Amino acid sequence: MFKRMEEIMIEIPDVEKPDANAAAAVQELLGGKFGEMSTLNNYLFQSFNFRSKEKLRPFYDLVMSITAEELGHVELVSHAIGKIYQGGTKPGDPDKTPLESIKDARFSYPFLAGGQGAMPFDSMGNPWTGANVFNSGNLVEDLLHNFFLEVGARTHKMKVYELTDHPAARAVVGFLLVRGGVHVVAYAKALEVATGVNVTKLIPIPSLDNRKFNEARKYEEKGVHTKLYTWSDNDFGTIDQIWKGTHPEDGSPLEVIAGVPKGVPIPEAPAVDEEFAPGISAEDFKAIAKRLKQAGNISE
């Protein structure tokens, strides 16, 4: 089961700098083959189908706990995409073509089918697919795949960071570079425990340090790259049998934290009247408030 909190992992800068094509690029990190929906669903199905959980407890706990973090990454990237769209159109008379400013956007589906928010598609509008999930059931093969998936995700994040300097994109991609780097190391260490092979010697792939990216470096300086969370009140503590020793890149001691990291409030998203979202007028709102009051759900 999952427990949900009204928080996201980091604060996203509220800078109005609409850039539909930058948002499309960030969509690759959400619904692309190596995006957050792929890491989430890979670990989700691997955790559902995991065999011999009791004998292989630390590996099972690792996949279970990282699944929960990936759900938080899907959430964070989605909010970043919304922030990048923000302000790209203005309310107006339909005859004045209020959506014209985004007519030439590479990915128009969020403006036509949606209300200018994140959608489960990649940067070119291909829908995310379950074909992106790999779950052979073989422990070493699945861990090897997860290592490769995190390395690929890291490369994609670096390229999106290089593609746009939008503050919301940079903030989130920089943070996720660090957290994704944790998962690269975690799966490398899991492979070492499972096989005796020192996979951490391959790191980093590509051979560029996270500290080369301003928005990632600040998190590494705070030690965010050394912490792995259980994402649970009581379960998954055996990940400390995998997440132990030192970080292969800078030698910092690694630490397992029971529970979840401290988050920040989910940002408010303003109405986009020209998209009819949410499509509730001031009069509608008054009527809704009255009905809620009658039902006893709000006080005066």
For Mn ion, the binding residues (CB under 5 A) are: 36, 39, 70, 73, 180, 183
Supply angle C-alpha 219, 221, 226, rounded to 5.
Answer: 75
CB of 183 to Mn ion, least distance (A): 4
- CB-nearer residue toward Mn ion: 35 or 82: 35
Which of the 8 DSSP states describes residue 254? P
In this structure, what token pair is assigned to residue 92?
């107006």
CB of 154 to Mn ion, least distance (A): 9
- CB-nearer residue toward Mn ion: 70 or 274: 70
- CB-nearer residue toward Mn ion: 19 or 70: 70
- CB-nearer residue toward Mn ion: 23 or 30: 30
CB of 282 to Mn ion, least distance (A): 40
Question: Which residues, including other chains, have CB under 8 Å from residue 110's CB and lie 6 or more apart?
Answer: 23, 85, 116, 117, 118, 119
Contact 173, 160 (CB under 8 A): yes
Q: Determine the Cα–Cα distance for residues 106 and 127; give it in Å rounded to an integer.
A: 15
In this structure, what token pair is assigned to residue 105?
């956007």
CB of 69 to Mn ion, least distance (A): 7
Provide the 3-class DSSP secondary structure of residue 196: coil
Contact 144, 138 (CB under 8 A): no
- CB-nearer residue toward Mn ion: 108 or 232: 232
Q: Which residue has the tokens 């956007």?
A: 105
Q: Determine the Cα–Cα distance for residues 49 and 66; give it in Å rounded to an integer.
A: 15
CB of 39 to Mn ion, least distance (A): 5
Contact 40, 74 (CB under 8 A): yes
Q: Which of 67, 208, 206 is nearest to 146 (CA)?
A: 67
CB of 181 to Mn ion, least distance (A): 9
- CB-nearer residue toward Mn ion: 39 or 123: 39
- CB-nearer residue toward Mn ion: 156 or 183: 183
Phi, then psi, of 247 in degrees rounded to 5: -70, 130
CB of 68 to Mn ion, least distance (A): 11
Can you name the residues that pair with 272 across neighbouring β-strands? 277
